[in-house]
Amino acid sequence: MFKSNLAARIFTCVVGIPALFALIFLLPQYNFIGLSIFIFILSFFGSLEMSRLLFKKVVPAAYLVWILPVVEYFMSSVTGFTLITILSFLMFLQVILGEKDDFKNSLTEASKYVLLTVYPSYFLSFVVRLLSLEHVSSYAIVLFLALVFSNDIFAYVFGMLFGKYTAHPFKASPKKSVAGFIGGFICTIAVSVVYCFLLSDKVSCPSVVDSVFLGIGMSVFANMGDLLESVFKRSAGVKDSGNVIPGRGGILDCIDSVIFSAPFFYLMYAGFTA
C-alpha cells in the first residue's frame, strides 16, 4: 500500500509539475491566462469537495461561490462587493430554509455557508490577484509555489527521518511531528533567501530580512492550512476530501497549504512592489 501510494504521488509530481511550469512560463499573456483558468478549475472542484465535507452533499450554493476567482480576474474592483453579496444572500436563506426545523440549526447552517464561500474560493482569489500585480513575473509565481511545496516536502522528509524521536503534538494530524515542522520551517526560510538572492533581478524582494520574514510566514501559514484541512476532514469523518488526484486524494488535499498561504504571500509581495 505504501509503495503504491508513493508511486502514485511520484507520478502525479512528474506529470503535474512540468504542466504547471508550462502554464506559468509559456502563457504569461493576459495576466497568466492559463494559470488563471487552472485556478478557476481548482476553485470549482474545491468548492464541491468543501460542500460534501460540510453538508455531506453538493448544495446548490457550491455552484455559485466558486466564481470569486473569476470575478477577481475580470473585475477585481468588485470582488469584495461580490463576496459580501454572496455571504449576505446565503445567510439570509436561513429565514426561509430554517423554518423546517424551527430555526434550531440556523446558526450552524449559516456558518457552514460562510465557510463554503470563503474556503477555498475567496482565498484562491488572492492567487489571481497576485497574477494581476503590475510587476509580478513568472519567477515570482514560482517563488510562491516553491515556498509552499518546500515546506510540505521537507516537513515530510524530516518527519520520516526524525519524527519518531520527537513529539507529535497535533491530534488532528498525528503523523505530523515537531521534527517535521522544524525541518520544513528552516528549509523554507533557506529556499526563500537563496531564491531571492539568486534571482534578485527577477523577483521583488528588497532585502535578506524581507526574504527571511517571507519564508517564516509562508511556512507558518502552509502548516496552518495543512492542519486546518485535517480538522475539516476529521470533523466530516472522512480520510480524504476526494479521490481525483492519484496518491493524494482530493483537490483540497493537494492545495490546502496553497489556499491558506495565498493571502499572506499576496500581501507581502504587493508590499514589496509598492
pLDDT, tens digit (0-9, with 9 covering 90-100), for 118-129: 999 999 999 999
pLDDT in tens, 88-97: 999 999 999 9
Q: pLDDT at position 205, please?
A: 86
Which 3 state secondary structure label does DSSP give 9? Answer: helix
Higher pLDDT, 4 or 101: 101
Domain boundaries along the sequence of the chain: 2-273
Q: Is 18 exposed, middle or buried (0-12, 13-18, 19+ CB in 10 A)?
A: exposed
Residue 71, pLDDT > 60, answer: yes
Which of 9-18, 108-117, 174-183 has the lowest average pLDDT?
9-18
C-alpha cell at 186: 528552516
Distances (CA, A) of 106 to 64, 67, 213: 20, 25, 41
**Mean pLDDT score, 22-34:** 93
Residue 1, pLDDT > 60, answer: no
Contact 261, 148 (CB under 8 A): yes
Which 3 state secondary structure label does DSSP give 103? Answer: coil
Amino acid identity, residue 226? Answer: D
**Mean pLDDT score, 21-35:** 93
State the DSSP code for 239: S
Q: pLDDT at position 2, please?
A: 45
Give the contacts of 31 (CB within 8 A, at least 6 positions apart): 73, 128, 131, 132
Contact 69, 117 (CB under 8 A): no
Q: How far apart are CA 9 and CA 106, in angstroms?
A: 41
| pLDDT tier for residue 247 given thresholds of 50, 70 and 90 | low
Residue 5, pLDDT > 90, answer: no
**Mean pLDDT score, 31-41:** 96
Closest Cα to residue 58, out of 270, 186, 241? Answer: 241
Which of 12-16, 31-35, 194-198 has the lowest average pLDDT?
12-16
Higher pLDDT, 86 or 167: 86
Give the CA dihedral 200, 150, 257, 189, nearest 10 degrees: -60
pTM of the predicted protein model: 0.92
Closest Cα to residue 35, out of 174, 138, 134? Answer: 138
Contact 218, 265 (CB under 8 A): yes
- Mean pLDDT (the chain, rounded): 91
